[in-house]
Chain A
Amino acid sequence: MTPAVTFTNVTRHFGTVRAVDAVDLTIAEGSFFAMLGPSGSGKTTCLRLISGFEQPNAGSIRIFGEDVSRTPPNRRNVNTVFQDYALFPHMNVRDNVAYGLMVKGVGRSARYAKAEEMLALVKLDAYGDRKPGQLSGGQRQRVALARALVNEPKVLLLDEPLGALDLKLREAMQDELKALQQRLGITFVFVTHDQGEALSMADSLAVFNNGRIAQIGTPAEIYGQPRTRFVADFVGSSNVLPPALTQTLGGPARWSSLRPEALRLTAPQEAPLAGPVTSLRYLGSGTRVTVAAKGADIGVFLPAGHPVPATGDYTGIGFAPGALHVMDEA
């Protein structure tokens, strides 16, 4: 099967800054792919390279096998849901959604019919006559989605699509986007800095750091077996242990990670790690207990229902043998 998007050794620099540095990437057809990373890590530039708003300085980009490295955005069969939605303020919702068909020369009645169909898909059937200014943030987001889908793109790009929504709406939209993607079977590529969003929505994800991909994998792989300290630190709030500490816990002299939820509090005697509790953070679903042990601050996630120690209490930390994940790279 031809992959939806292929990056071969793609580099894009702005002046001396290498925004995207020799990236190789394959996105499978029909997948929900997330590009995760802190701001400035190159994930948005990668998205713009796919949409055509940036062109690579080196390397090539293929969309379904076709080299599009020099193809302008309007001749690529990909569409984008922009971060600020970028709806046309002077057009009503129906004309916004029908825009892609209008510039293709589709007749009025046909394109309006299709636009209504798309609006129904995002549950905005009754809003065709409104102007974007009269909609809420969540509604604008849906219009942007309908507008991008009307051209039946082979790949849908989403640039931080949920960033501007409040938490409740964001969670609802996450489910909806996921369901929509499965229903349409289109490849979705979405950029986010929110690791929770990436883990919960994506089939596979790439973690970006400094213009390079630190790791590609399924959410479970990325979360459970981070390859680098950066990934362990950025995805989830893992405890990253230096080589010396890894050794005292029975591992090789390499960096390792311990997930807070894989740890439990035990009696200090015979525990591999022990120390005083330095802080407590109540999270609702549990409490994050920080313990100063062997020169490191170890975070332990204590699920609700367990007895919570007091600050200053001396406690041990225990974990199952498989919980210590040794990383390949520093």
Chain B
Amino acid sequence: MRSDRAPIGLTLAAIAGLLFLHLPILLIFLYAFTTEERTYQFPPPGLTLKWFEVAWNRPDIWPPLYLSLKVAAVSTALALILGTLCAAAMARARFFGRDQLSLLIILPIALPGIITGMSLRSAFSVMDIPFSTFTIILGHATFCIVIVFNNAVARFRRLSGGILEASADLGANGFQTFRHVILPNLGSALLAGGMLAFALSFDEVIVTTFTAGQQSTLPIWMLNELVRPRQRPVTNVVAIVVFVTTFIPILIAYYLTRGGSDTAGAGK
């Protein structure tokens, strides 16, 4: 017999699983308001908003925040250009080794970050490239490209050859076809890919530790901060900032790609 309702045991297990995943995040938020600054005591002895003010006035927070935003923005921009071009080539051309190349492009995201980080670090030192903002951006671009590529390649496949031919048939040159047909159909996929890439870059730790040299991005700053004894809730305040900065783009990306099924190929 079929029933629309899941068995009570399964429902409870699912709820327990979700709570296990998400309660710790709520705890992070909670400790941003605690009055106890040295230990994470539960329940918090009192609640206060002063850590937001303290965080705001701490000069050492701002450079990592700027650096993180800059790295995420530049590597996302790089990824948008290179990832889209890769996707266009993979979706439209047929050449020897295409599938293998496609796998190589996706590899950075499948590879453990520590491997990517180590290999980049050794490559940079072999090539005598000093660690700088530039090297962090290169490191982040490796996985940002994959995100954009994956989003774009799926959309390119749905852009049936028919509408590109129709555009040419009606007199459009290659640029006009790109501008009026490809880009509008690709737009939401690129926006979604860009948002995800930005979010991933903004909270990246592992690859960054191998490629950053003396600079700290915000996640690295947080990691260092956790071992300090004083003003612990400041880290939690920053955690909320990171959470919001990464969660909102991911949410937007989710809504953009969810409705995407009726943007291309609906002419069939």
Contact = CB atoms under 8 A, between A and B. Distances in A.
Interface of A: 51-53, 72-75, 79-80, 82, 84-90, 99-100, 102-104, 131-133, 140, 147-148, 151
A89 B264 contact: yes
B168 A73 contact: yes
A86 B170 contact: no
Contacts of A85: 267-268
Given A84-B160, A84-B267, A132-B267, A73 B165 contact: yes
A100 B170 contact: yes
Nearest to A51: B169
Contact of B171 (A87, A88, A131, A151): A151
A89 B266 contact: yes
B184 interface: yes
A82 B167 CA distance: 11
B29 to A, nearest CB: 40
A245 to B, nearest CB: 48
A53 B165 contact: yes
Given A132-B266, A133-B262, A133-B267, A89 B185 contact: yes
A85 B170 CA distance: 13
Interface in B234-265: 262-265
A74 B167 CA distance: 8
A99 B180 contact: yes
B90 interface: no
A133 B266 contact: yes
B89 to A, nearest CB: 20
A74 B173 contact: yes
Contacts of A147: 166, 170
B166 A86 contact: yes
B168 A82 contact: no
Interface in B155-176: 160, 162-163, 165-173, 176
B181 interface: yes
Contacts of B165: 53, 73, 80, 82, 86
A102 B170 CA distance: 10
Interface size class of B (residues with CB under 8 A): 20 to 34
Given A79-B170, A89-B185, A89-B267, A103 B163 contact: no
Interface in B177-193: 180-181, 184-185
A80 B265 CA distance: 19
Nearest to B188: A90
A75 B171 CA distance: 6
A84 B170 contact: no
A75 B185 CA distance: 24
A140 B166 contact: no
8 contacts: A52-B168, A73-B168, A86-B267, A87-B163, A100-B170, A103-B171, A103-B176, A151-B170
B57 to A, nearest CB: 49
B160 A74 contact: no
Contacts of A103: 167, 170-173, 176, 180
The 4 closest A-B pairs by CB, nearest first: A86-B162, A100-B170, A133-B266, A86-B166
Contacts of A140: 267
Contacts of A87: 163, 166, 267
A104 B184 CA distance: 19
Nearest to A143: B267
Interface in B58-74: none
A79 B266 contact: no
Given A73-B165, A88-B163, A89-B163, 14 more contacts: A53-B165, A72-B168, A73-B169, A74-B168, A74-B169, A82-B166, A82-B169, A84-B162, A86-B165, A90-B264, A103-B170, A103-B173, A104-B171, A133-B267
A172 B88 CA distance: 41
Contacts of B166: 80, 82, 86-88, 147
B178 to A, nearest CB: 12
B264 A74 contact: no
Contact of B163 (A51, A74, A86, A148): A86
Contacts of A82: 162, 165-166, 169
B176 to A, nearest CB: 5
A80 B162 CA distance: 11
Contacts of B184: 90
Given A82-B166, A99-B180, A89 B263 contact: yes
Contacts of B168: 52-53, 72-74
A79 B169 contact: yes
Interface string B66-107: 000000000000000000000000000000000000000000
Contact of A99 (B162, B170, B264, B267): B170
Nearest to A102: B180
